[in-house]
Amino acid sequence: MNIEKIKNTQGKILGVDFGDVRTGLAVSDPSRMLALCIETVTAEGIENIADKVASVALAERVGAIIVGLPVNMDGSEGHRAERARRFAALLEEKTGIPTETVDERMSTMQAARYLNATDTRGKKRKNAIDTLSAQIILQSALDRLKNQ
């Protein structure tokens, strides 16, 4: 997990689970101990999604942004990883806030397991899975920052 660009930043961090239709968002507390789900944004097109997420990042006054990078189980990167990198670069360009991508392998599976355990189904599940994935991605990065 590469977090070099953000390790010397201050304040809250925005976690992003980027998707083509729904993008989950989570934010850390100012001390960077806990990740909290905040919302799911919906838009079509990478530019429109980046505009909405940039707006949230600026409103939350974050010092850094983490975008989940969908890496294949064998460690290789495909089209979706390339798209996530492009999205992260767009976000950084639009906000001026340091942005990193981090391996998000298993985050959606962890979120699904949690939602199964809490018997969250239907529309509630659809609305929760992206923000929960963003929270898992962000918490993993926060833990890594804490341990460095």
Question: What pLDDT is attached to residue 73?
Answer: 74
| Tens-place pLDDT, residues 12-56 | 999 999 998 899 999 999 999 999 999 999 999 999 999 999 999
The pLDDT, as a whole number, for residue 97 is 97
pLDDT at position 57: 98
User: In which band, very low, low, confident or very high, does the pLDDT at 128 lie, cut at 50, 70 and 90?
Assistant: confident
Band of pLDDT at residue 71, cut at 50, 70 and 90 = confident
Contact call for residues 131 and 16 (beta carbons, < 8 A): no
Q: In 3D, which of 48, 44, 16, 55 has the Cα closest to residue 133?
A: 16
Question: 80 burial class (0-12, 13-18, 19+ CB within 10 angstroms)?
Answer: middle
Would you give the distance in Å from CA 34 to the centre of its chain?
Answer: 14
**Confidence label for 7 from pLDDT (cuts 50, 70 and 90):** confident
Amino acid at residue number 87: F
pLDDT for 83-127, tens place per residue? Answer: 999 999 999 999 999 999 988 766 666 666 755 676 656 666 566
| Phi and psi at residue 132, to the nearest 5° | -65, -40
pLDDT score recorded for residue 1: 52
- Residues in contact with 5: Cβ distance below 8 Å, sequence separation at least 6, in sequence order: 64, 98, 99, 100
pLDDT for 132: 86
